[in-house]
Structure 1
């Protein structure tokens, strides 16, 4: 049995802004089922929900701050969650990264530096908990200082650093290094220094014993200038320590047979029941009810990374097709405005909900026929896996985890029963539109479409195999 400390800035269902929270809420559970001793550690934000109030464990002094550690549990599990409780930093309205008005926290460096120091103290068994991990599993830039701090310790636990998105790096002016009172021996070009700035993510990349990312294709992509954001050289240098392990999904939460958020549950053998969800979605979104019309869904951030600009550029042509489009998400205000304008001009074809709504997300996955995910880059992506589980056929760009999880519908893949979606290469509205039209040809052939749905629903995206791969990685180090 391994003792694993899982350090993360967010965990579903306690608090979530993106895919990291889903991983943090699922991978520790899967490791627990493999009889590992896992503890999650995260900041005690004011916005945390869905868990028991934390009970006081101890107080740890770091950098002249008295920080409390509280203990609660991942809901419905035996996995302890240790909450790093420092009210001046964390007991304020907002989410982990931005305040109530959507502005980045001005003291975000201070917040996560303090968090990393506490993780390092717990890892070295200096937090009065009488528990020392064998492995500290860190996630994204917010925990990047942990491997760096541990590198200065005698007989420290091994560290694994997982990149969920290279685009977010935790870059700060050089003065922040001094202001954060970090150990001087970490400030050099092979350490935390990045072109004269302080880089949190570089701490994880330079000092962790192993680096993982969330899909095999993304592990290759981040070693190139297009996806490496200036750190591709370091990643290529550490290639022997870098691997891509595909994220799983929570197959209990995302299961059309038992989903409490959808109008009608269904499974592979009762696929006809999926049609009731389309009608419910059309009614909910005030679209004309028409069982024959294909409904396209999109759930996600309305930002360029997700290819929303490709959809906006193609929509005038797409709206001439017999189809409906349902959008759920938030992001760049200009994208939100343009989508809302399409919904105003074409109320019988376009429905838009700005913001995030978990029940509606489930209803879209169940009610749509086709899911749009034309991302410019996508480290792993989860919605394309949810969609396949719900028999909703994804249209994706060939990048990152999308390339690893969706099998393009071609004569060969149709023949051998592996086709599960539609894949296109170029980041252009034209190639996306072409993929959509290719998909609609298949949609009209009901028997072939039904087979495509069954292929998709039979894919295994559970966490079990991913957890086994992480365990093998822990064993290696």
Structure 2
């Protein structure tokens, strides 16, 4: 029997991307379709989404909802993959330039609760045949933006005395919870008793993320280690009790990499291609990167790359403290991203003082991200916490050895260059245990030590490139979960 599943998300690569969520929404549905599932995606009608779909047509007229006077459901296809995408057209809520969540001053939009309540509500309506031609058996909601979908489904089930669809809720990052003032509850159209500790109430406010965790039939998160971590006080974000109560409904399924996009042998964004057996093109990528950033053109300098949001979560305050170690040993660092103003300034100060060794560029651009991943010898992902992390997986594929903190998905995907791991041919990168400057410093020294041993470095690069974190295995696990529910 073919499983019909609707994925509900706020962004999708290549239409709109602010983080890893878009990569997952873009890659997981096609991987499920390849395995025989009938999968569609529901997105808010942001300008980039409407502009990037072909064959848009109206499926249903919804009328007035959540302060939006004219709401319609449209359907189009993603040209790259022929994926069927439903779009909510509600221009008064979604037709805004720039970031989908924040205004020009980087402040969250005042009506985000209504904007994303409409997303969850529409998902539940699709399960109730809003599109006369198709209805899902599984509604798979991603992150807080889609967190109300399971709540609206449970409310419909109560109202009509029958279940319309089962729900799966995936937490991509528990730190972002979609918390809003309690007085907005009345606008959501949910039963009054849903505003309760056993429900969507969270310390006197509403939490869209908690709604997803509480009302969904199954919860997944994006790595096995993170699934354990979020059930602890330290990493549970105030929801650890709820997650421990639902431990039997919670599983960690590692995110995958779309190797059609991330493959150094075919990547059109690189100056030269290379493979695990033919690595010379990687050297050309490194030379081009040094030139692009105005670093000293030294082929033997160990080049560290960072492509990241510049925030404390990403551990870049720790990296900033360890920078003297890298510079002293003749290493180089390229940093690309935006975020916390203090971190941006701190990194820029070091770059200004050591222009031959350190370069910082603020912004985001997919082409440059690929160039840095390919041109670096080491890609640093020293995150305080990291649900899954995709950067280290891209780095492995490109033979750029990841340097990571042993948390979440980083712990599940990178094997440290300890003496015993080197002896057993297991090493794929550098892992530090404690989130402290000296622990990171020791990992940096291990990177320099291995780099000095040319043959072992090359062998480690090849081993990293042979790791398979494709979507296949993950898609199979999601499909098993859907079948169990359906």
With structure 1 as the length reference, what TM-score do the two structures score? 0.97
Residue 463 (1) aligns with residue 466 (2): no
Distance 1:129 1:264 in 2: 50
Counterpart residue number, 1:331: 339
Aligned to 2:232, which of 190, 208, 224? 224
Counterpart residue number, 2:95: 91
| Residues 330-361 of structure 1, C-alpha deviations (whole Å, 9 max, x = no match) | 00011111111111111100111101011111
Structure 1 residue 294: Cα displacement: 0.8
Residue 80 (1) aligns with residue 84 (2): yes
Moved more, 306-315 or 392-401: 306-315
Structure 1 residue 318: Cα displacement: 2.7
SS at match of 1:417: coil
Moved more, 185-194 or 289-298: 185-194
Counterpart residue number, 2:9: 8
Counterpart residue number, 2:151: 148
Counterpart residue number, 2:40: 39
Residue 135 (1) aligns with residue 148 (2): no
Residue 68 (1) aligns with residue 75 (2): no
In the alignment, is the contact (CA less than 8 A) between 1:256 and 1:390 conserved in 2? yes
Structure 1 residue 67: Cα displacement: 1.4
Give unmatched runs, 5+ long, in structure 1: none
Counterpart residue number, 2:285: 277
- Indicate the RMSD between aligned Cα atoms, in angstroms: 1.3
Structure 1 residue 54: Cα displacement: 2.7
| Residues 75-102 of structure 1, C-alpha deviations (whole Å, 9 max, x = no match) | 3223101111100000111222112332
Aligned to 2:242, which of 230, 234, 240? 234
Counterpart residue number, 1:104: 108
Counterpart residue number, 1:213: 221
Counterpart residue number, 2:120: 116
SS at match of 2:235: helix
Structure 1 residue 156: Cα displacement: 1.9
Distance 1:430 1:410 in 2: 16
Counterpart residue number, 2:327: 319
In the alignment, is the contact (CA less than 8 A) between 2:222 and 2:252 conserved in 1? yes
SS at match of 2:279: helix
| Residues 149-188 of structure 1, C-alpha deviations (whole Å, 9 max, x = no match) | 1112222200000000000111111111123343213121
Distance 1:196 1:287 in 2: 52
Counterpart residue number, 1:182: 190
SS at match of 1:228: coil
Residue 244 (1) aligns with residue 236 (2): no
Distance 2:342 2:52 in 1: 33
Distance 1:469 1:331 in 2: 34
Counterparts in 2 of 1:440-451, with a 5 A limit?
Answer: 440-451=448-459
Distance 1:74 1:215 in 2: 28
Residue 29 (1) aligns with residue 30 (2): yes
Residue 288 (1) aligns with residue 292 (2): no
SS at match of 2:404: strand
Counterpart residue number, 2:59: 57
SS at match of 2:328: coil
Structure 1 residue 53: Cα displacement: 6.3
| Residues 236-285 of structure 1, C-alpha deviations (whole Å, 9 max, x = no match) | 00000000000001101000000011111000110122111110101111
Structure 1 residue 63: Cα displacement: 3.8
Residue 255 (1) aligns with residue 263 (2): yes
Structure 1 residue 62: Cα displacement: 5.9
In the alignment, is the contact (CA less than 8 A) between 2:169 and 2:213 conserved in 1? yes
With structure 2 as the length reference, what TM-score do the two structures score? 0.96
Distance 2:163 2:231 in 1: 31
How many positions carry a matched residue from both structures?
476
In the alignment, is the contact (CA less than 8 A) between 2:417 and 2:446 conserved in 1? no
Residue 342 (1) aligns with residue 344 (2): no
SS at match of 2:125: helix
Distance 2:426 2:79 in 1: 36
SS at match of 2:180: strand
Aligned to 2:169, which of 157, 161, 164? 161
Counterpart residue number, 2:404: 396
In the alignment, is the contact (CA less than 8 A) between 2:333 and 2:359 conserved in 1? yes
SS at match of 1:305: coil
In the alignment, is the contact (CA less than 8 A) between 1:63 and 1:181 conserved in 2? no
Distance 2:232 2:64 in 1: 38
SS at match of 1:435: helix
Aligned to 2:310, which of 288, 302, 305? 302
Residue 203 (1) aligns with residue 211 (2): yes
Moved more, 144-153 or 374-383: 144-153
In the alignment, is the contact (CA less than 8 A) between 1:390 and 1:457 conserved in 2? yes
In the alignment, is the contact (CA less than 8 A) between 1:187 and 1:193 conserved in 2? yes
Structure 1 residue 55: Cα displacement: 2.4
In the alignment, is the contact (CA less than 8 A) between 2:55 and 2:77 conserved in 1? no
SS at match of 1:319: helix
Distance 2:291 2:65 in 1: 56
